[in-house]
Amino acid sequence: MHPKLNNFYRNVFALLMTVVCFNTGAGAQKRAGDQKPVFVIVHGAWGGSWAFRKVDSLMTEKSCVVYRPCLTGQGERVHLASAAVNLTTHIQDVVNTILFEELRDIILVGHSYGGMVISGVADRVPERIRKLIYLDAMVPNDGENVMGLMDPKGEGLTKMIQGDYVVPVWIKPDQKPPRDVPHPLKTFTEPIVLRNENAKKIPATYILTVDPGKKAEGDNFAFSATRARERGWKVLEMRADHNPQWSAADELVELLWSLK
């Protein structure tokens, strides 16, 4: 090929590559700007991902992407219940959802016992989490467990222990799904490990649900809200019972949407 023609084709190729790279970069920036908020919602004890089905639907209508991992031994995974299931198992359930679904920049929500789980998840994969939202949930310190936080005198949860499970009175063997199920005891007795300093840098919000007609300071999770304030988190109050995903789903979704 003539040297001049060779240089000509080289210049054309370089120009085309510049255009392609520019368009690709612009497209990537547009996709990043248009990215839908991703929520990962972790349910509480005895429940399952089914409990947040309505919340999922309402948030999806608002163009959110919602994941509802079901903890081992709960909900549709009740057939996997065993004495070996512990807090670490449940933390790994959620970590694996995040890793295998390749999720990043997520808003991680934990309800009730789910606060223990998301605390452990944040300690494991803080780089994947944009925000933490504790929904009437436990806020543990390193080395604490559910029994110590929620039943220090052995007057509540301890009395529900049946073998290797915690079984409250509202759980009946003849109930049809979806329903609450016995909760593996070791998830309540295993101390949580929280030692990753990067997890403490994740912005967090606490939502305290207070029953209508009652005072916030008398709520069962008031101590968790106090801890959240001491940590400098945003603390919000919501007039609803402990399960706003059922009793006040629309209001809950609006609140979560405002925190995205």
pLDDT of residue 173: 85
Q: Which of 49, 57, 112, 224 is catalytic?
A: 112
- CATH number for the domain including 221? 3.40.50.1820
Cα distance between residue 80 and residue 72, in whole Å: 6
Residue 112 annotated in active site: yes
Question: pLDDT, tens digit, for every residue of 63-113?
Answer: 999 999 999 999 999 999 999 999 999 999 999 999 999 999 999 999 999
Cα distance between residue 105 and residue 101, in whole Å: 12
Per the structure, the complete domain to which residue 224 belongs is given by 37-258
Q: What three-state secondary structure class fits 84?
A: coil
The total number of structural domains that make up the chain = 1
Q: From the CA atom positions of the chain, what is the Rg in Å?
A: 23
Question: pLDDT, tens digit, for every residue of 6-20?
Answer: 555 555 445 444 433
pLDDT of residue 19: 38
Cα distance between residue 71 and residue 114, in whole Å: 10
Tokens of 19: 């255009």
First-to-last alpha carbon distance for the chain, in angstroms, is 59
Domain presence at residue 207: yes
Domain presence at residue 143: yes
Domain presence at residue 24: no
Domain presence at residue 17: no
Domain presence at residue 26: no
Q: What is the mean pLDDT of the chain?
A: 91
Domain presence at residue 196: yes
Domain presence at residue 1: no
pLDDT values of the chain reduced to their tens digit, one per residue, 260 residues = 555 555 555 554 454 444 334 344 444 333 444 689 999 999 999 999 999 999 999 999 999 999 999 999 999 999 999 999 999 999 999 999 999 999 999 999 999 999 999 999 999 999 999 999 999 999 999 999 999 999 999 999 999 999 999 999 999 989 999 999 999 999 999 999 999 999 999 999 999 999 999 999 999 999 999 999 999 999 999 999 999 999 999 999 999 999 99
- CB burial of 159-179 (b: ≥16 within 10 Å; e: otherwise) equals ebeeeebbbeeebeeeeeeeb
